[in-house]
A and B are shown apart, each in its own frame.
Chain A
Amino acid sequence: MISVDIERRRRRTANIFTLAVLAVWFVVGWVEPPYLLPGPANVAERLWGFVIDPHMWVHAGASLLHVVAAVAGSIVIGGCLALAAYYLPVLRLAVHGRISPFLNSFSGTGWVLLAVLWFGLGGFTVVFSLAMVLIPFAIINVRQGLDSIDPELIEMARSFGHSGLKRFFLIILPALTPFLFSTMRICFGVSWKALLTAELFGGDTGFGQLFNLARQDYDTPLVVTVIVIIVAAVYASDRYLFEPAQARLSAHYEVL
């Protein structure tokens, strides 16, 4: 009973806090000119304009496509590198001691600017620079999954005479599934953070390009609208799509 009360009070405080933030935003937006801070009503209006404008959906679709392609590419490349180090232990130092730390500490913005110089502006530049940022996350997560596989299970499969390919599909891949899912979840979250920079400097469509136009025109309402869309999309997809799916997957594979 007490815990229900505490829970209710916490929710109420969170809701009051949200309303207070909206109220402060409304007041500041009312006092300040829109190019400094557009109010919630102004942003809501732009948001509706965004929803009914097919041109904006092209940008939204392009951004989503960039994210999906980069996440898929990085999981494939990062996963292959981690698997190569797993099956060929002589590559462990090269993959986990050289490639992964190097990519992990190399600046994402650096990749964008280099990709612009190498490939010019366009979708490939965006996907390439995003993938270079995401690959180390994929390597680290898939490695964690591979390290968690019970060696006795592999040994047992070997003693049953299962071939390497069969062992991969019957033991390794199912054991990796929750980790691949969490890799996808992490990469999806990180990619939205890096996406705007990549599209702003290296793309010709997408939210980043909208940002670029808005920045040049001092169109702060559009900047805030795009931010609201991204925050809402990332938050909602993580909370209502990835989190329950991962919980179900973890329960299924008994991974905590």
Chain B
Amino acid sequence: MKSSSLAASVAERVIGEGLPIAFLLLWWLTARSLPSFVLPGPIETGETLLQLFVDPAFMGHTLISLARVVASVILAVILGGALAGLARYVPSTAYAVQRRVLPVLNSFPSVGWAILATFWFQPDSASVIFVETLILIPFCAIALIQGIADMDRELLEMGASFSRSSLKIARKIALPMLLPYVMSSVRIAYGVGWKIALVSELFGAEHGLGYLMLRAEVIGNTAMVFASCFAIVIIFVAGEKLIIDPLARRFAVH
């Protein structure tokens, strides 16, 4: 029984690890018989991908996209938090926030914001951050509304009986209880942010991975389209593993 479960676990690992290798091999074989603008090979794509991280001309595009996503996530958490706080602490606004603002923001097409931003603003980072923030706000607000609803009222009451300073109660009791939800909203916003980063950069930017990708598609540089997508996958995974996961562990409720 034990050896069969070990064999199953080994087989699972072999298939799991073998799949990306098989995929790369299949990609390489298919790409050999196709022109580069239809399917570039993994080596050509890998070289282009490397350029996005080491060549200063391309690295600028990568870094500016990263900076825009980070700025949008921070703004969305602040504004989403403000909406969640408003719904909780000014109860008469709860419906307005939860049944008007959030559903509309949530169902608003992202490309709609992107196109409206091109009419309203100059194509620059502020326009992209505006679009990304508006798309991310409902995700953050929903997570933070849940966080505020789940806060332990008895603990807050106990804090109030020990101190009259609401700032102190917020800092010492409410904030630590809310931090896991803040991290969860950061995680969601970071993931969605990278998904929609390209949309907002396609119209309202002259730099960034979205701009680079659209330019590459127009001139048939498929390797760059692939490389931009993989660059996002890499930055997304690195950001999550190196920054968000450790922070989430640090602020987890014990």
Contact = CB atoms under 8 A, between A and B. Distances in A.
Interface of A: 6, 9-14, 17-18, 21, 35-36, 89-94, 97-99, 102, 104-110, 113-114, 116-118, 189, 192-193, 195-197, 200, 208, 211, 214-215, 218, 220, 223-224, 226-227, 230-231, 234-235, 238-239
Contacts of B106: 189
Contacts, number: 155
B158 interface: no
Prevailing SS type, chain B contact patch? helix
B130 interface: no
A108 to B, nearest CB: 6
A143 to B, nearest CB: 15
Given A93-B13, A93-B16, A223-B115, A14 B100 contact: yes
A189 B106 CA distance: 9
Nearest to A227: B112
Nearest to B10: A90
Given A13-B95, A14-B99, A215-B118, A235 B107 contact: yes
Nearest to A91: B15
B112 A230 contact: yes
Prevailing SS type, chain A contact patch? helix
B95 A227 contact: no
B108 interface: yes
Interface of B: 8, 11-13, 15-17, 19-20, 37-39, 91-96, 99-101, 103-104, 106-112, 115-116, 118-120, 191, 194-195, 197-199, 202-203, 210, 213-214, 217, 220, 222, 225-226, 228-229, 232-233, 236-237
Nearest to A98: B19
Contact of A113 (B108, B195, B217, B232): B217
B12 A93 contact: yes
B107 A92 contact: no
Contact of B111 (A6, A12, A98, A196): A196
Contacts of A231: 104, 107-109
A116 B220 CA distance: 10
A105 B39 CA distance: 20
20 contacts: A11-B95, A14-B95, A14-B100, A17-B101, A35-B119, A36-B119, A98-B16, A105-B232, A108-B198, A108-B199, A110-B213, A110-B228, A113-B225, A118-B39, A189-B106, A211-B112, A220-B116, A227-B109, A227-B112, A231-B104
A80 B122 CA distance: 46
A192 B109 contact: yes
Contacts of A214: 115
Nearest to A102: B233
B104 A10 contact: no
* The 4 nearest A-B residue pairs measured at CB: A93-B16, A110-B229, A234-B107, A14-B95
A110 B225 contact: yes
Nearest to B7: A90
A106 B195 CA distance: 8
B214 to A, nearest CB: 7
Given A10-B94, A14-B95, A235-B103, A89 B222 contact: no
Contact of B92 (A10, A93, A107, A189): A10
B198 to A, nearest CB: 4
Nearest to B11: A90
B59 to A, nearest CB: 19
A215 B194 contact: no
Nearest to A239: B103
A17 to B, nearest CB: 4
A89 B8 contact: yes
Nearest to A196: B111
Given A94-B19, A105-B237, A230-B109, A10 B91 contact: yes
Given A114-B222, A117-B217, A107 B100 contact: no
Nearest to A6: B91
B202 A109 contact: yes
Nearest to B221: A117
Contacts of B197: 107
A158 B195 CA distance: 44
A114 B11 contact: no
Contacts of B228: 107, 110
Nearest to A7: B95
B68 to A, nearest CB: 14
B13 to A, nearest CB: 6
Nearest to B98: A14
B115 A230 contact: no
A237 B226 CA distance: 35
